[in-house]
Amino acid sequence: MPLVPVKQLLDEAAKKNYGVGAFNVNNMEQIQAIMQACKETLSPVIIQASRGALKYSNLIYLKKLMEAAVIENPEIPVAMHLDHGNSLETCKQAIELGFTSVMIDASLTADGKTVASYEYNVETTKSVVDYAHKFGVSVEAELGALGGIEDGHGAGLAADDTTHLTDPDQAADFVKKTGCDSLAVAIGTSHGAYKTMRYDAAGNALPPELALERIELIEKNLAAAGFPNYPLVMHGSSSVPQELIAMVNKYGGKMKAAMGIPMSDIQYGIARGVRKINVDTDSRLAMTAAIRKVFVETPEKFDPRDYLAPARTAQYELILGKVKDFGQAGHAKDFAPMSLEDMKAVYAGK
Ligand code: G3H
Ligand code: 13P
Ligand code: ZN
């Protein structure tokens, strides 16, 4: 099976009202872990690489690892997606590499830090759509800006800053003007383990407060404007399992209190139009906890396989749970995979 465009995966998910996990990767073990979980559960899946991941892996390594994943798992529809592309140039580079989908995050300017104007977002997104669709490549855009900052990406917005949440009244205009295939919405999630922290009176950490009602409004406005079942994307969707934080700290880590997005909130979104769910941090936590355990319990070991294999297993177990909870499990064989050539014809209206 060739790599499939993200648009097909999200359209199929909309038909049956489930979500598709989009898992960030940087290396072989992560890709293997995701593919094993998806193979066992027959889950279509999106594997995504950030600009940082592409730089870390020197571009070609991730591409070849993805090709290996496809060869080894012919029955699983897999899409290869660029996460948070910052410019047309970056998206062009990913398309040249063989990615079947790109995100142009022009909610921020190309520095990845400054909140951009609506006009800049429309213009930049449209330039990527016009280019990518000629190759059959899907385009995700972002409207509104996520809070927080992670590894240099993000505007560092304050926890209680709601001014950059997605405006439901802008969504239809944005999709109409840009032609993007899916829309990442800002509803109060943020990247990383340290999301917008809240505490109860006793000082216990609470999960971030999300503006979940906006999902329903955005979806309703899009449908009214002629975009029914339009796929929305939820970034910053790690649940930050407390047992993983505890395990990291038990084995010498020094993580502060952290809370993620409860699965019930994600499922609320899926029931109302969220089709792509981005997860990176939880995979990092799972692998780090497993590696720390090996280092502490068997300090005499020095073969990387002794800690990378348990790290891979830990991520596999994490993904296994997510694909079941998001609902993509069991749907790999529901549809015939489309190639980028097929998608080119769709975009050309043939
Ligand atoms: O967008 C945020 C993702 O978690 C990617 O993070 O830029 O550190 O690879 P990264
Ligand atoms: P997390 O940091 O919550 O895993 O979010 C990842 C993400 O949104 C990647 O684009
Ligand atoms: Zn993101």
pLDDT tens-digit series, residues 110-130: 988 888 999 999 999 999 999
Residue 323 CB contacts under 8 Å (≥ 6 apart), including other chains: 21, 37, 38, 41, 43, 45, 329
Amino acid at 18: Y
- Cα gap 5→135, rounded to integer Å: 11
Ligand 1 atom index nearest CA of 281: 4
Ligand 2 atom index nearest CA of 240: 3
65: its two tokens = 């690892």
282 ligand 1 Cβ < 6 A: no
191 ligand 2 Cβ < 6 A: yes
Mean pLDDT throughout 195-203? Answer: 81
Report residue 237's pLDDT band, with 50, 70 and 90 as the boundaries: very high
281 ligand 2 Cβ < 6 A: yes
Report residue 271's pLDDT band, with 50, 70 and 90 as the boundaries: very high
Mutate to test the pocket of ligand 1, among 195, 280, 282 (most ligand atoms within 8 A of CB): 280
pLDDT at 127: 98
Report residue 164's pLDDT band, with 50, 70 and 90 as the boundaries: confident
Mean pLDDT throughout 141-165? Answer: 71
Protein residue closest via CA to atom 9 of ligand 2: 278
pLDDT at 29: 98
pLDDT at 23: 98
pLDDT at 151: 44
Mean pLDDT throughout 85-92? Answer: 97
Ligand 1 atom index nearest CA of 49: 9
Mean pLDDT throughout 310-318? Answer: 99
Mean pLDDT throughout 51-71? Answer: 95
Protein residue closest via CA to atom 2 of ligand 1: 191
Mean pLDDT throughout 83-87? Answer: 96
Is residue 155's pLDDT more than 70? no
pLDDT at 148: 57
Mean pLDDT throughout 24-44? Answer: 98
* 3-state SS, one letter per residue, for 13-75: HHHHCCCEEEEECCCHHHHHHHHHHHHHHCCCEEEEEEHHHHHHCCCHHHHHHHHHHHHHCCC
Is residue 252's pLDDT more than 50? yes
Q: What is the mean pLDDT of the chain?
A: 94
Question: What distance in angstroms lies between residue 168's CA and the mean position of ligand 3's atoms?
Answer: 19
Which bound ligand lies closest to the C-alpha atom of 258? 2
102: its two tokens = 């790109």
Is residue 153's pLDDT more than 90? no
pLDDT at 156: 64
pLDDT at 204: 80
Q: Which residue has the higher pLDDT, 29 or 145?
A: 29
Q: Which of 97-101, 123-127, 204-208 has the lowest mean pLDDT?
A: 204-208
**β-strand partners of 50:** 83
- Cα gap 273→264, rounded to integer Å: 15
pLDDT at 253: 98
pLDDT at 170: 97
Mean pLDDT throughout 244-254? Answer: 98
Is residue 150's pLDDT more than 50? no
Active-site residue numbers? 83
8 ligand 2 Cβ < 6 A: no
Report residue 149's pLDDT band, with 50, 70 and 90 as the boundaries: very low
Question: What distance in angstroms lies between residue 21's CA and the mean position of ligand 3's atoms?
Answer: 12
How many Cα atoms are found within 13 Å in the side-chain-facing hemisphere of 222? Answer: 28
Q: Which of 146-160, 303-317, 319-333 has the lowest mean pLDDT?
A: 146-160
Report residue 154's pLDDT band, with 50, 70 and 90 as the boundaries: low
List of domains in the chain? 6-241+259-280+326-339 (3.20.20.70)
186 ligand 1 Cβ < 6 A: no
Share of the chain above pLDDT 70, in %: 95
Mean pLDDT throughout 304-317? Answer: 98
pLDDT tens-digit series, residues 337-346: 999 999 999 9
- Cα gap 123→332, rounded to integer Å: 35
Mean pLDDT throughout 317-334? Answer: 98
